[in-house]
């Protein structure tokens, strides 16, 4: 029995390096830092004067790359990608970066996000005779680029990007440099850094930190930046700007040590915890967090409320992606294999518990149960974000609306379902106020309020051919 995760998942992370001797190796380290944004597959393409080199595979960055394969990523430019979601077929063609040789030159692209009009564009391109090799939406961009009337590569890419809708934070490797681009809403983060004479682009600043690169600025919504021997050139993708940054990057996805949309994530989350403390006080013995995503908010809560912080749940750092259930299933095993409540801390205590969010509710229910089994007398749950009521269409892997517990249940019903003594959420207003660097109206909060910044399809689309159109390619080899 394999666990199905009960949380929201980032789809991807990207990194790019220009002008460094070991571009492939640096890119690999950048992906290492961005591993939390996608654990299913990883790929890097580099370019030297003569040609492109690539390594791609399923698994963690530490599994996909070896010293030997990294040493083959020659050249002073490279782009890389980590991916969360799999479309099922074990097909390396679906692992980014995607590569193509066009009459305009060679190009490889990798992107974080989700194109909402990909299927429509795909159908139209196919009718004109385009042959698709993957089932990822990035390929639509390549075909648009190859058939663009713009003959220069950067302009052709800007042209192509002006035709796609949705979320993309994209990096590209071209014959004479790298390109970084971000959709007109700026849904996903994308930052620019400098490392001596070299440039680094990445989804989060934690990648810059690891590489000793200095944070310069965000790639702006609707901006396309080309980095080459001529330095940095900034282009505007010919579309109307409409900033709508994803607030969930601060709530859960991004690493606490990253600067995202101009602000440190740990401090934002600590402010969430303080805001919770101002509204929700309990006559309790301690506050604990659900590690690690609740840690920052719990610290903020403790500081603001004066209630002592304790470590009541121990995280197992060696959890693999799956574990095997015995036939007589163990209660709460899925939760306990990751987090073990400490009886010596919790026994007989009234406990405030801080978690980052509730998705389906099943995990929260198990956690409350595990904490009670470890002896806690009262369990007061505080959630450092508003109730999630709507699915994401812009690059986050969420369950469908009907599986989101807050889409159909009131807070009191949820409290009852998870069997907590109390339950409260951070309000949308408190959340947005806690973030100082960006005006409230420049965030996308659709998962909390259903206000999608652009029209979205009725069904969330991962860009895939319909099932009947796909080829099922099975593994070869005598053991397969």
- Give the Cα-Cα-Cα angle 367, 446, 121 (nearest 5 degrees): 120
Q: How large is the greatest C-alpha to C-alpha distance in the chain, in angstroms?
A: 72
Q: What is the residue-wise DSSP string for 70-94?
A: HHT--SSEEEEEEE----SS--GGG
Instruction: Give residues 113-142 in contact with a copy of itself (rule: CB under 8 A).
Output: 126-133, 142
- DSSP alpha helix (H) spans, 211-262: 248
User: Is there a contact between 72 and 53 (Cβ–Cβ < 8 Å)?
Assistant: yes
Is 4 a binding residue for a copy of itself by CB under 8 A? The answer is no
- DSSP alpha helix (H) spans, 306-376: 333-338, 343-346, 362-373
Among 4, 197, 240, 328, binds a copy of itself (CB under 8 A): 328
Residue 89 or 241: the one with the smaller Cβ distance to a copy of itself is 89
Among 217, 326, 441, 459, binds a copy of itself (CB under 8 A): 326
Is 56 a binding residue for a copy of itself by CB under 8 A? The answer is yes
Instruction: Give residues 344-383 in contact with a copy of itself (rule: CB under 8 A).
Output: 344-345
- State in angstroms the smallest separation of the CB of 320 from a copy of itself: 3
Is 78 a binding residue for a copy of itself by CB under 8 A? The answer is no
Is 479 a binding residue for a copy of itself by CB under 8 A? The answer is yes
Among 40, 87, 106, 214, binds a copy of itself (CB under 8 A): 106
Q: Please give the structure tokens belonging to residue 352.
A: 């405030």
Specify the residue for token string 């999630």: 388
Helix, strand or coil, per DSSP, at residue 25? helix
Is 297 a binding residue for a copy of itself by CB under 8 A? The answer is no
Residue 310 or 397: the one with the smaller Cβ distance to a copy of itself is 310
Is 33 a binding residue for a copy of itself by CB under 8 A? The answer is yes
Among 85, 96, 138, 295, binds a copy of itself (CB under 8 A): 295
Instruction: Give residues 173-232 in contact with a copy of itself (rule: CB under 8 A).
Output: 206, 209-212
Residue 340 or 422: the one with the smaller Cβ distance to a copy of itself is 340
Instruction: Give residues 10-29 in contact with a copy of itself (rule: CB under 8 A).
Output: 21-22, 25-26, 28-29
- Beta strand 313-315 with 198-202 is unpaired
Is 336 a binding residue for a copy of itself by CB under 8 A? The answer is yes
Is 101 a binding residue for a copy of itself by CB under 8 A? The answer is yes
Helix, strand or coil, per DSSP, at residue 218? strand
- SS3 letters across 105-127: EEEEEEEEEEECCHHHHHHHHHH
Calpha distance 475→321 (Å, rounded)? 21
User: Is there a contact between 233 and 174 (Cβ–Cβ < 8 Å)?
Assistant: no
| Residue 374 exposure: Cα atoms within 13 Å on the Cβ side | 23
379 CB-near residues (< 8 Å, 6+ apart): 351, 353, 368, 371, 372, 420, 421
Calpha distance 118→121 (Å, rounded)? 5
Residue 125 or 244: the one with the smaller Cβ distance to a copy of itself is 125
Which residues are known to be catalytic?
12
- State in angstroms the smallest separation of the CB of 230 from a copy of itself: 22
Is 51 a binding residue for a copy of itself by CB under 8 A? The answer is yes
Is 446 a binding residue for a copy of itself by CB under 8 A? The answer is no
Among 18, 65, 199, 301, binds a copy of itself (CB under 8 A): 65
Residue 146 or 239: the one with the smaller Cβ distance to a copy of itself is 146
Give the total of residues touching a copy of itself (CB under 8 A): 118
Instruction: Give residues 458-477 in contact with a copy of itself (rule: CB under 8 A).
Output: 465, 467-477
Which CA distances in Å does 42 have to 80, 82, 320? 7, 4, 17
DSSP 8-state class, residue 435: -
Is 36 a binding residue for a copy of itself by CB under 8 A? The answer is yes
Is 90 a binding residue for a copy of itself by CB under 8 A? The answer is no
Is 306 a binding residue for a copy of itself by CB under 8 A? The answer is no
- Beta strand 443-444 with 245-246 is parallel
| Residue 94 exposure: Cα atoms within 13 Å on the Cβ side | 22
- State in angstroms the smallest separation of the CB of 416 from a copy of itself: 25
Among 13, 19, 30, 54, binds a copy of itself (CB under 8 A): 54
- Give the number of other Cβ atoms within 10 Å of residue 57's Cβ: 15
Instruction: Give residues 256-275 in contact with a copy of itself (rule: CB under 8 A).
Output: 256-257, 259, 264, 266-267
**385 sits in which H/E element:** none
Residue 180 or 299: the one with the smaller Cβ distance to a copy of itself is 299
């Amino acid at each position: 029995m394999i666990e199905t995760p009960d949380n929201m998942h980032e789809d991807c992370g990207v990194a790019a390096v220009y002008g460094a001797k070991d571009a492939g190796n640096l890119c690999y380290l950048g992906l290492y830092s961005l591993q939390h944004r996608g654990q299913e597959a990883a790929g890097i393409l580099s370019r030297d004067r003569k040609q492109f080199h690539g390594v791609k595979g399923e698994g963690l960055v530490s599994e996909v790359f070896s010293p030997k394969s990294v040493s083959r990523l020659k050249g002073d430019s490279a782009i890389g990608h980590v991916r969360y979601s799999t479309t099922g077929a074990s097909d390396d063609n679906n692992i980014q970066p995607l590569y193509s040789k066009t009459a305009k030159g060679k190009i490889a692209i990798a992107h974080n996000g989700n194109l909402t009009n990909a299927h429509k564009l795909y159908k139209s391109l196919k009718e004109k005779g385009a042959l698709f090799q993957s089932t990822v939406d990035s390929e639509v961009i390549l075909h648009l680029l190859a058939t663009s009337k713009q003959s220069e590569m950067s302009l052709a890419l800007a042209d192509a990007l002006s035709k796609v809708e949705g979320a993309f934070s994209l990096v590209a490797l071209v014959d004479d440099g790298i390109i970084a681009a971000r959709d007109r809403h700026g849904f996903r983060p994308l930052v620019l850094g400098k490392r001596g004479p070299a440039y680094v682009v990445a989804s989060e600043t934690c990648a810059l930190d690891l590489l000793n690169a200095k944070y310069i600025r965000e790639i702006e919504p609707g901006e396309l930046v080309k980095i080459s021997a001529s330095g940095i050139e900034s282009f505007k993708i010919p579309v109307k700007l409409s900033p709508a940054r994803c607030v969930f990057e601060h709530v859960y996805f991004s690493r606490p040590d990253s600067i995202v949309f101009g602000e440190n994530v740990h401090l934002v989350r600590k402010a969430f915890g303080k805001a919770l403390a101002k509204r929700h006080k309990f006559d309790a013995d301690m506050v604990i967090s659900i590690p690690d995503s609740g840690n920052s908010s719990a610290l903020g809560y403790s500081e603001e409320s004066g209630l002592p912080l304790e470590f009541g749940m121990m995280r197992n750092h060696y959890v693999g992606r799956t574990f095997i259930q015995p036939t007589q299933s163990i209660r709460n095993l899925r939760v306990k294999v990751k987090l073990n409540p400490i009886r010596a801390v919790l026994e007989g205590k009234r406990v405030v518990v801080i978690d980052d969010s509730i998705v389906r509710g099943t995990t929260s229910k198990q956690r409350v149960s595990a904490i009670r089994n470890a002896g806690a007398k009262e369990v007061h749950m505080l959630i450092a974000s508003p109730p999630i009521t709507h699915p994401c269409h812009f690059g986050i892997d969420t369950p469908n609306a009907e599986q989101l517990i807050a889409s159909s249940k009131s807070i009191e019903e949820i409290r009852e379902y998870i069997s907590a003594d109390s339950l409260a959420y951070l309000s949308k207003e408190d959340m947005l106020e806690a973030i100082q660097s960006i005006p409230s109206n420049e965030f996308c909060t659709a998962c909390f309020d259903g206000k999608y910044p652009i029209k979205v399809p009725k069904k969330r689309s991962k860009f895939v051919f319909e099932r009947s159109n796909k080829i099922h390619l099975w593994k070869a080899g005598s053991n397969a």
